[in-house]
Structure 1
Amino acid sequence: MEARARLVLSMDNRGHARPINPWKGGVIMISPRYILFAFALMVSLGASMVEARDPALSDRTLIVGTKEAPPFAMKSADGTWTGISIDLWRQIATDLNLKYELRETDLKGLLDGVASGSLDVAVAALTITPEREEAFDFTHPFHATGLGIAMAWKAGNPWVAVLKRVFSPTFLKVVVTLSVLLLAVGMLVWWFERKTNPQQFGGGPAKGIGSAFWWSAVTMTTVGYGDKAPVSLAGRVVALIWMFGGIIMISGFTAAIASSLTVAQLESPVKGPGDLSKVRVGTITNSTAASYLRDKRIGYQTYQTAPEGLQAVAEGKIQALVYDAPLLRYLINQGFKGSLQVLPNTFLRQDYGIALPPRSALRETVNRVLLQKISEPAWQDTVYKYLGE
């Protein structure tokens, strides 16, 4: 008769499980915490096997939607795709051994595709927003930026703008204030010099004050003709104070003139988002910029692509195009350099992420690889390659 081994468990008075060998009668002590550890290990291995069998991570070819959004997603003449987002996705797919097929669509197609599940992934320059998060999932952000404003570069005659500034109420007010100050200093010198120095500041109040005004202006501008000079102690004290004060004043006046000359070509009705309501504005359909303008009650014209919007600015159909700042700068450098510009300041921070269908099995796995990739020095090289920053 064949013998069969059996494991018999009993509990001792200390609460330990006691397997009993039926042949030798020996007792082996096993702690309950080891039993719990073995159970947890089995559960973990089972979960890993379920994940590995997920078709999204194994044999199925993923449908990855994209759209042209230079420099994050760009399609070359031979149909190949490159860009910051595309390069990042390729690295993630390679590390996870994912098979995929790129499918081009528009922005609405990307958003609707991941929301419905007809697209497994959407890769472009997609901004993470609360509204989109309600419809589908995003990975962790891989790039932070903001909205920018593209304007026409003013290339007209800068002297026209300078003349406008010279005859502006603000500038004329400065000139009048300066003239009054010159007159006041001149009158002080005349008062002290009219008796002790009649040859230079005498001849009646009108003539004396006129000579003192002339001396005050010459001293302030540091020309120093030397044709008139105070000789009394009080007059010289006033002159000494005015010499130092004049240097400071003429420096500020010169800086104001230089500023008028240098910014004349940059004269624009829009200095920031607060001025958008005063001009004709455009943006891209279904974009974050469109939502911003709508929330701010700013009227706008929509365009299907950023190049179409920039062309409208160049032709004068609109005065400003509001869209993602890095995309605007890249496109202007490529096709509108010298005719359009992007204002230096951005607003409304935007975080770009990879879009996934709701509760996608890919999310956690892709996130782990994404975070690893963007922490590597090679990622900064990729960003610099396309953006130069």
Structure 2
Amino acid sequence: MKKYFWFFFFTILINSMVFGQDVRVKLKVGYAGSEPFVFHDEKEEGIVIDIWKEIAFGLNKNYELIEFTSVESGIKAIDKHELDILIGPITINSSRAALVNFSQPYYNTELAILAPVLETSFWSVIKPFLSTTFLYAVMGLLIILSIVGFLFWIIEGRKYPEDYGEGFIKGIGSGVWLAVVTMTTVGYGDYAPRTPMGRFVIGSWMVISLILATSFVAGIATTFSQTSSEDKTITSLNHLQNKKVAVPNYKKIIDKIRNSEGIPVPVNDVSEAYEKLMDKKVDAVIYDEIPLQYIFETDKKDDYVLSKKRIEPQYYGFLFPLESDLKRQVDLQIIRLQENQEIRDIVEDWINRN
């Protein structure tokens, strides 16, 4: 009898211990991405890790974190139902949405440009003066001045050789000089038309020269800006012509670089892009603002510049299997964190750690 008593006692004790514990199944949470959203070292940490901890606390869920070297490998695991959720700086796009479920966007960002600072060289200063546009403009102006000088010599030069000089060459030369003085509004007064027809020619030239001078100056200014921009630091999409640019491996971004006449070099993550820039294999990096800003601030160099130009908005979300019941619960937690500005505080905290 005593024997059965102890048996029932230990049975009740063990059952109470088992059922008294939390026996909830742990969520399998994969994570992938780049710093500062995810750090691939011994300790799981980063922006999305902190955000997930807040979400899991709000849901009162147990979980285990599983590291993935790339977002693509994590998506395959989600598609095979090996994970309950994949977290990271995962850009929401249509190709991924066809395979998996996206959460409510937890963070909105844009692309930024990182490029070396290029100093102005002596050649870049004189180069505009040797451009074909500038030379054609000068030649065109000289031809027009010669025509005006020739007309003035025919009308007045031959009639008053004592004022404009004897002979064809001297007469036209004096006419060209009068045309130049008139166009530049210098008005030396050494030559002046006497006949009505001469005054008509010079008066017409005054009006025409105003238009020509304005167009000529505008053309030179355009030439200077277009030519010098080739040697300037890459700070916008307008500077990408014939430049190699490391970009995320997304078709939309690659097409945008090609439309700007740049040469896209797709990379898997921001570290690979940064390494190519340091090795001078590319002329610039265009990547998501936060990862690019973080890696630049960590290893900041004075001869590089980070430009934020509001290029191509990016929306980050978490991934779930298509029929997941967890998605709505996580969405509500993301909205709560956004309303309390906790996600913004987490991001700023990690960025300011540099």
- The normalised TM-score by structure 2 is 0.67
What is the identity, as a one-letter code, of the residue corresponding to 1:105? Answer: F
1:213 and 2:172 equivalent? no
Q: Give the CA deviation at 1:160.
A: 1.9
Aligned counterpart in structure 2 of residue 368 of structure 1, from 309, 312, 332: 332
- Is 1:161 aligned with 2:124? yes
**Residues 1:248 and 2:217 aligned together:** no
1:28 is aligned to none
Please state whether the residue corresponding to 1:266 is helix, strand or coil. coil
Counterparts of 1:160-199 in structure 2, within 5 Å, are 160-194=123-157, 198=161
* Counterparts of residues 144-159 of structure 1 (less than 5 Å): 144=108, 152-153=115-116, 155=118, 157-159=120-122
Match of 1:209, SS state, is helix
Tell me which residue corresponds to 2:276.
Answer: 312
Note if 1:122 corresponds to 2:86.
yes
Task: Report the Cα offset of residue 190 of structure 1.
Answer: 4.0
Counterparts in 2 of 1:214 and 1:321: CA distance versus 1, 3 Å: same
* Distance (Å, rounded) in 1 between the aligned partners of 2:151 and 2:207: 12
- CA 1:194–1:112: 2 relative to 1, 3 Å: same
The aligned amino acid for 1:265 is: D
CA distance in structure 1 between the partners assigned to 2:42 and 2:216 by the alignment:
62
Deviations 1:154-196 (A, max 9, x none): 6254332344443333333233223323333444444444257
Which residues of 2 match residues 20-99 of structure 1 at below 5 A? Answer: 59-71=24-36, 73-75=37-39, 79=43, 81-83=45-47, 85-86=48-49, 88-99=51-62
Q: Distance in 2 between matches of 1:331 and 1:256?
A: 37
Q: How many residues align?
A: 319
State the identity %.
23
Pairs within 5 Å for 1:324-343: 324=288, 327-328=291-292, 330-332=294-296, 334-335=298-299, 337=301, 338-339=303-304
| Secondary structure, counterpart of 1:126 in structure 2 | strand
Question: Which residues of structure 1 form unaligned runs of 5+?
Answer: 1-57
Change (3 A) 1:207 1:273: closer
- Asked whether the 8 Å contact 1:146–1:325 carries over to 2, the reply is yes
CA distance in 2, matches of 1:382, 1:256: 46
Q: 1:158 to 1:251 in 2, by over 3 A?
A: same
TM-score when normalising by structure 1: 0.62
Separation of aligned partners in 2, 1:110 and 1:375: 29
Matched with 2:6 is: none
Distance in structure 1 (CA, Å) of the matches to 2:164 and 2:99? 85
Q: 1:243–1:290: structure 2 CA closer, same or farther, 3 Å change rule?
A: closer
Q: Which one scores higher on RCO, CA 8 angstroms, separation ≥ 6?
A: 2
The answer for the alignment partner of 1:6 in structure 2 is: none
Secondary structure class of the residue paired with 2:136: helix
Q: How many Å apart are 1:126 and its aligned residue?
A: 0.8
Structure 2 stretches of 5 or more lacking a match? 1-22
Which secondary structure state, in structure 2, belongs to the residue aligned with residue 265 of structure 1? coil
When residues 119 and 201 of structure 1 are mapped into structure 2, their CA distance, relative to the original with a 3 A threshold, is farther
Aligned partners of 2:212, 2:135: CA distance in 1, in Å? 19
Pick the structure with greater CA Rg. Answer: 1
CA contact (8 A) 1:194 1:201 kept: yes
Amino acid at match of 1:112: K
Does the CA contact (< 8 Å) of 1:139 and 1:366 recur in 2?
yes
Secondary structure of 1:353's aligned partner: strand
